[in-house]
C-alpha cells in the first residue's frame, strides 16, 4: 500500500511540474516575458507560492528552466526544457485526436 501511494505522489508531482513548465512556456509565448510566481499559482490553480517555488526548483535541478533567485520574471526555458515542452504538446495533440 505504501509503495503504491508513493508512486501516485511521484506521478502527481511529475504532472504538476509538467503543468508549470507548460504554463511558463505558454505565458512567454503569449506575453513575451515570463510569469511571476503568483501568475503561475493563479494559472495552474495552486494557492501556495511556496509549492510553486518547490516545483520550479525541481525543474531547475532537472535543467529544464533557469531563473535568478530573488528576482521576478527571470525564468527561461532551457533547450532541454523546450524539448520536453514539445513532447508534452505532441502527446496532448495525440490525445485530442
More confident residue, 6 or 67: 67
pLDDT at 96 over 80: no
pLDDT at 1 over 60: no
Grid coordinates representing 77?
Answer: 526555458
Q: CB of 22 within 8 A of CB of 64?
A: no
Q: CB of 89 within 8 A of CB of 26?
A: no
pLDDT band at 4 (very low <50, low <70, confident <90, very high): low
Amino acid 19: pLDDT: 95
The model carries a pTM of 0.86
Helix 37-44 with 2-31: angle, nearest 10 deg: 120
Q: CA-based Rg of the chain, rounded to a whole angstrom? A: 14
How many Cβ atoms sit within 10 Å of the Cβ of residue 58? 16
Across-strand partners of 93?
none
Q: Find the length of the chain.
A: 97
pLDDT at 61 over 90: yes
Average pLDDT of span 18-35: 97
pLDDT band at 41 (very low <50, low <70, confident <90, very high): very high
Amino acid at each position: 500500500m505504501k509503495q503504491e501511494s508513493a508512486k501516485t505522489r511521484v506521478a502527481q508531482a511529475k504532472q504538476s511540474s509538467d503543468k508549470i513548465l507548460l504554463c511558463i512556456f505558454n505565458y512567454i509565448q503569449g506575453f513575451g516575458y515570463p510569469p511571476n510566481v503568483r501568475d503561475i499559482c493563479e494559472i495552474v490553480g495552486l494557492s501556495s507560492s511556496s509549492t510553486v517555488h518547490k516545483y520550479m526548483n525541481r525543474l531547475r535541478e532537472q535543467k529544464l528552466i533557469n531563473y535568478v533567485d530573488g528576482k521576478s520574471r527571470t525564468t527561461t526555458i532551457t533547450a532541454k526544457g523546450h524539448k520536453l515542452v514539445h513532447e508534452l504538446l505532441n502527446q496532448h495533440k495525440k490525445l485530442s485526436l
